[in-house]
């Protein structure tokens, strides 16, 4: 009798467990009988977006950002406004975005100078690399070494020979002591055996300010992306002596690389991309990524980039962040070697 009672209780317990576990089990057709539907992400965007460019108008990042804003405005049905916030080598506009609300409505359109170079050369910035959530690149292309259109220099060799004899007469424009352009000049001068401390940096707020100074003969050298310089080059106001990539730029195929002309170990390049504050929800980052990927496959947008003499390149968030960290390590070494840390 006692054994029968125990058997009955065990059977009841097994039945109860089976019923409870079965409540969330799949039915014979594979559907979940009690699993709630995943919560949908909020609609985005539902209002205008500010795309902050931490440089003045007219440079490569600014021009590309305006093309991006135009595309996104049509794609999303919400106005994307480009707002220029130059100052402090890009820190002013960058800080405004990173210290703002992480809701996807104030977004950063930046480049290497206002990011990895700025972080590598400054220990007192109000932000750090962990404050960024890197979304995607839009453009990646070489820097061009640019002089006045009627300059007597027609190659990097001509220019190198002059600089070796007259280092104190070399002036170059840059947004700051630790900008990517400055690092590029340092790599070049090291390659040809010239002391960087003997040349002169002329500060500016970006290509829109610098390139007319080059064309007017007020500054000798600009190291800039070809996007901002292209129109003045084609008009004969500026001349490109060489580009920093391993292969010639398809935008200026007749211009040899620095490497071809005997200038080695100049690794700097120009990228323009999109980032948001680190606390921005993942669904917003994903939407930006997928839209930029789609944009860089759109024939009309690619035609627009061609008119700007820009080379589009999509890089996802993970690869973008890895590139920034790799470049930053290179620039940190330059800063330490030259004693540029502030």
CATH of the structural domain 49-141+270-338, one choice from 1.10.3720.10, 3.30.70.20, 3.40.190.150, 3.40.50.720: 3.40.190.150
Q: Which fold has domain 142-261?
A: D-Maltodextrin-Binding Protein; domain 2 (3.40.190)
Q: Give residue 5's pLDDT.
A: 43
Q: Give residue 7's pLDDT.
A: 43
Element containing residue 83 per DSSP (H, E): strand 80-84
Question: Do the domains spanning 49-141+270-338 and 142-261 agree at the CATH topology level?
Answer: yes
Helix, strand, or coil here: 41?
A: coil
Q: Break the chain into its structural domains and give their ranges.
A: 49-141+270-338, 142-261
Phi-psi region of 309 (alpha: psi -120 to 50; beta: other; left: phi over 0): left
Q: How far is CA 146 from CA 211, 266, 269, in A?
A: 9, 15, 15
Element containing residue 4 per DSSP (H, E): helix 2-22
In the chain (342 residues long), the average pLDDT of successive 10-residue segments reads 41 39 43 60 97 92 96 99 93 96 98 92 91 97 96 97 98 90 97 97 90 96 89 95 92 94 94 98 98 98 93 96 96 94 64
Secondary structure (DSSP) of 247-279: S--TTSTTSPBTGGGT------EEEEEEEEETT
The pLDDT tens digits for 213-259 are: 999 999 999 999 888 788 899 999 999 999 999 899 988 999 999 99
Average pLDDT, the chain: 89
């Amino acid at each position: 009798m006692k054994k029968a009672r125990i058997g009955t209780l065990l059977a009841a317990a097994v039945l109860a467990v089976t019923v409870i576990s079965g409540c969330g089990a799949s039915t014979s057709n594979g559907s979940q009988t009690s699993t709630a539907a995943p919560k949908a992400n909020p609609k985005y965007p539902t209002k205008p977006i500010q795309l902050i460019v931490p440089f003045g108008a007219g440079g490569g990042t600014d021009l590309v950002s305006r093309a991006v804003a135009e595309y996104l405005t049509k794609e999303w049905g919400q106005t994307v406004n480009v707002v220029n916030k130059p100052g402090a080598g890009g820190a002013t506009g960058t800080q405004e975005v990173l210290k703002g609300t992480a809701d996807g409505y104030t977004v950063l359109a930046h480049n290497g100078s206002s990011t990895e170079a700025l972080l590598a050369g400054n220990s007192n910035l109000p932000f750090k690399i962990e404050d960024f959530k890197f979304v995607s690149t839009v453009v990646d292309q070489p820097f061009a070494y640019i002089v006045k259109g009627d300059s007597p220099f027609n190659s990097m060799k001509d220019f190198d020979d002059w600089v070796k004899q007259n280092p104190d007469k070399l002036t170059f424009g840059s947004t700051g002591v630790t900008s990517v352009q400055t690092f590029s000049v340092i790599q070049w001068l090291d390659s040809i055996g010239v002391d960087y401390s003997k040349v002169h940096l002329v500060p500016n707020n970006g290509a829109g300010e610098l390139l007319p100074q080059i064309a007017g003969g007020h500054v000798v050298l600009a190291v800039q992306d070809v996007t901002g310089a292209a129109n003045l080059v084609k008009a004969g106001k500026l001349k490109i002596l060489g580009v920093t990539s391993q292969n010639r730029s398809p935008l200026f195929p007749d211009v040899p690389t620095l490497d071809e002309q005997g200038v080695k170990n100049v690794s700097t390049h120009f990228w323009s991309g999109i980032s948001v504050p680190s606390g921005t929800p993942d669904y917003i980052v994903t939407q930006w990524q997928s839209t930029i990927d789609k944009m860089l496959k759109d024939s009309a947008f690619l035609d627009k980039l061609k008119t700007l003499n820009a080379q589009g390149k999509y890089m996802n968030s993970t690869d973008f962040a890895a590139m920034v960290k790799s470049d930053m390590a290179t620039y940190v070494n330059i800063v330490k070697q030259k004693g540029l840390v502030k």
